[in-house]
Amino acid sequence: MPKSDTAIVMQSWVEAFSDKMYLWTLYKTNSKETAEDLVQDTFLAAFQAIEKFEGKSEPKTWLFSILNNKIAEHFRKAYRNPTINESDRNVDTEVSLFDTFFDSDGNWKKEQRPKEWHRDEGNLLDNAEFINVLQGCLRKLPNNWFAAVQLKYIEKKRGELICQELEISPTNFWQILHRAKLQLRKCLEVHWFKN
Amino acid sequence: MKKIMYLIMLPCKKVTELIEKRSLVGLSFKEKIQLHLHKTMCDACTAYQKQSKKIDELLERYIHTSDTNNSGSYQNHELKQKIINNLS
């Protein structure tokens, strides 16, 4: 394809798909900046690899497959390299997180003991109010905890495999998920299930 | 004696850790017994496990649901322009 033709095709794809791709990425990353960056990267990668696109799949499918790889790569990076401030914060968060929930013997503090949730109303994910609460709670997680949560559910892979790709020990991974889950559970309880 | 008690009755913090480990990489035989024994005696951890599973289900569905259905009206012109400028 001559270069000018490629540019025209790409431009029409940007017009047709960039909004959907942006929203999809925003939904996953919870960050406007990150979403814009990843969508831009995707089109750049597509532009450079256009020779490989032979029209065997829909352009939209092809673009989204590149995008999803970029999103997963983003979370792997975020998990591996929390910024310095972030990791400082984690040490604090970690200590106070466990201290919030457990006494010195490691048992639930009386007021923190989980009790059954009674609020249960069909499909929560159809409820915009609940989605708001969930997104708010996810946003409060430290960056690399959030990345760990995303990696666990995005790829539907066994834990060992995720850890192999990240080159980290499984122990480290599920300990981070443990902390993330404790915090997330509490947040959902306070903002939703207790109401 | 304390050591034996610990072996039989893990503290809740450790048990909640096992609950997360279970869903990710699975548990050893000993850990399965420890988890089971603890739950027979601890309502709080039993409730925690139930809620942890519920959160797993919610997150898994949330992450795989496309929220792009209501994007009809959404337009990010600035982003489009940025991308097009990048490409030329």
pLDDT of the residue at B76? 81
Do A188 and A93 share a structural domain? Answer: yes
Do A11 and A64 share a structural domain? Answer: yes
A170/B16 Cβ within 8 A: no
Which of A16-25, A88-97, B34-43 bottoms out in mean pLDDT, i.e. has the lowest? A88-97
Please report, in angstroms and rounded to a whole number, the separation of the first and last CA atoms in chain A. 60
**B 4-63 residues with CB below 8 A of A?**
11-14, 16-17, 20-21, 24-25, 43-45, 47-48, 50-52, 54-56, 58-63
Taking CA atoms, A100 is separated from A84, A111, B15, B20, in Å, by 24, 10, 16, 19
Do A185 and A106 share a structural domain? Answer: yes
In percent, the amount of chain A with pLDDT more than 70 equals: 88
**Phi, psi for A80 (deg, rounded to 5):** -75, -40
Q: Where residue A87 falls among pLDDT bands split at 50, 70, 90?
A: very low
pLDDT of the residue at A54? 73
Of the candidates A53, A79, A105, which is a domain's last residue? A79
pLDDT of the residue at A183? 95
pLDDT of the residue at A165? 73
Do A140 and A71 share a structural domain? Answer: no
3-class DSSP state for residue A110? helix
Do A106 and A72 share a structural domain? Answer: no
* Chain B neighbors of A36, CB-CB under 8 A: 76, 79, 82
Do A185 and A92 share a structural domain? Answer: yes
- At A101, which CATH number? 1.10.10.10
**DSSP string computed for B14-65:** HHHHHHHHHHHT---HHHHHHHHHHHHH-HHHHHHHHHHHHHHHHHHHHHHS
Q: What is the mean pLDDT of residues B75-79?
A: 84
How many domains is chain A built from?
2
Structure tokens at A176: 């981070």
Do A56 and A98 share a structural domain? Answer: no
* Chain A neighbors of B73, CB-CB under 8 A: none
Of the candidates A79, A102, A134, which is a domain's last residue? A79
- At A57, which CATH number? 1.10.1740.10
pLDDT tens profile A125-161: 888 899 899 989 998 998 888 888 888 887 666 777 7
pLDDT tens profile B25-61: 889 999 999 999 999 999 999 999 999 999 999 998 8
A188, containing H or E segment: helix A170-188
Do A120 and A75 share a structural domain? Answer: no
Name the β-bridge partners of A108.
A102
Q: What is the mean pLDDT of residues A42-64?
A: 88
* Chain A neighbors of B64, CB-CB under 8 A: 153
Do A98 and A65 share a structural domain? Answer: no
**ipTM summary value:** 0.81
What is the residue range of A183's domain?
A: 83-193
Q: What is the mean pLDDT of residues A64-75?
A: 92
**Phi, psi for B70 (deg, rounded to 5):** -100, 30
Do A172 and A113 share a structural domain? Answer: yes
Instruction: For A33, name the nearest residue in chain B, comparing CA atoms only.
Output: B79
Provide the sign of the torsion angle of the four alpha carbons A173, A176, A181, A182, taken in this order. positive
Do A49 and A99 share a structural domain? Answer: no
Q: Cβ(A112)–Cβ(B45) under 8 Å?
A: no
Instruction: Indicate the length of chain A as a whole number.
Output: 195
Rounded-to-10 torsion of CA B26, A151, A21, A31:
130
Do A52 and A87 share a structural domain? Answer: no
Taking CA atoms, B45 is separated from A186, B15, B87, in Å, by 14, 7, 54
pLDDT of the residue at A94? 60
Of the candidates A46, A79, A112, which is a domain's last residue? A79
pLDDT of the residue at A84? 46
